[in-house]
Amino acid sequence: MAASRQHGSLDLSWQTKPGRHVGVVTACRCLSHRPARTGPTGKARGDAGPRSGGSSAGGLAVGPAGSRCGIERVVMAKKRIGILTGGGDVPGLNSVIKTVTYRSREDDIEVIGLRRGWEALTHLNLDDPGSRSRYVMPLNHENTRTIDRRGGTALHSSRTNPSRMRNLPDHLAGKEFPASASPKGGIAGTTPGTSMSGTKTSATSKTSATESWDVSGQVLANLSGLGIEHLIAIGGDDTLSYAAKLDALGFKVIAVPKTMDNDVRNTEYCIGFSTAITRASDAIQRQRTTIGSHERIGIFRVFGRDAGFTALYTAYATSIRCVIPEHKVDLDKLVEVLLEDKRGNPSSYALLVISEGAGWEGFAPREYGEPDAYGHRKKASVAEQLADEIKRRTGEDTIASDLTYDLRSGDPDFIDKLVAVTFGNMAYDAILDGKSGLMSALVGGCYDLVPIPDPKLGPRKLDVATTYSTERYRPIFANKRGLPIFLSRAS
């Protein structure tokens, strides 16, 4: 609750929080609040100091209980920042969280962990202690000391989109929120009689599948109620799309990119990518023995709904074929290439890695389940479908292996630890400088701060002409001189 009181030339503003009374005293000329003058010993002298029983805070003298101003206790407010992780987990997230928390101790800044991503700010009920416990976690040296030694996120995560909420928590039932803007324009989720201009309408905790609401007002109210002045959002293109909106609404936010897909715009690298390639390479190397023993064709599925970075770089590291979303392959030609590989291999096997969003000419991807908060449905395994098609056409024994969730599991490798710690430090430095709307990034192989990507542009994609051989279905290995370390430039 924010409040303000005038006392002579005193302007006293404070925030009241459970168990905390915070205030800042400025320019009061009454004796209770006059700055103390000190003598050579450092002790207050004469009538210039606080009255008997008073104390000083932040260099200002403060009156005792019962003083003329009626102020019982006034202290200087600490700066408070929030941090959250959204979307799928990847190794390296905890390194960012720990880095920001440790750095904050140097500047006496409080760090509040917001648990379960954007859900913390849409579902938090500040009047409910149980809700605060579920969604708010003050971070300190003790509870972050060892978190960087493991993967995942100590703050948990969710796929919540405050701009398109279909199911509201009970404590928001009956409150007025704008209907969500449809991705195709217009207003989505309006009830009969709702204005198509986006005017506010009453929402209930139970809504139909077509109703959704923009609860950004609640997000801002919860940030204010928690006393958070600056936010660090760690996520992929979906999570950061709402970070961009929050910045546009006037709240200070800094972004840190993470995704195994490595498809966030404006950066050449996202936390989690290196570990994913390491995991995929190790799994494929292990499975060579069993696939070779049975003289099979092995198809490996990895993440990559819209972009083929994970598949391409895994193929680059393991010298196998790959299929990516940016290019629809000719299935007859692909089968011919794989059979050629198999015939030329002394162990009589062939391998291919395929992105979950890839396909071939004439292929219709299968999806199932309800769309998530960002409109994505789960994809049926394209690896299984490709394996079945190859076996049907050739009679060759073909096996599919799904590597997806294994790639995000376990501890981060060195590169993801290095980048995560550096991205976290850059985000914290940006907060100290009062910046907003920026993201930690690698650009031209160098660390930099860049604008949070425009959500309307969608995810970053491979430049097929320079990275992928559409004739041989493998990475292009030539002409890498002068490229940044991760072989592609930010776009």
* Residue 171, amino acid: H
CA distance 239 to 237: 6
- In this structure, how many other beta carbons lie within 10 angstroms of the beta carbon of residue 137? 20
Q: How far apart are CA 203 and CA 172, in angstroms?
A: 8
Nearest to residue 96, comparing CAs of 230, 262, 270, 265?
270
- Residue in the structure block whose two tokens are 């003289």: 295
- Side chain identity at residue 225, one-letter code: G
Positions marked active-site: 261
Please count the other Cβ atoms lying within 10 Å of the Cβ belonging to residue 390: 23
Q: Please, what is the Cα angle at 247 between 244 and 248, to 5 degrees? A: 85
- Contact criterion met (CB below 8 Å) for 302 and 407: yes
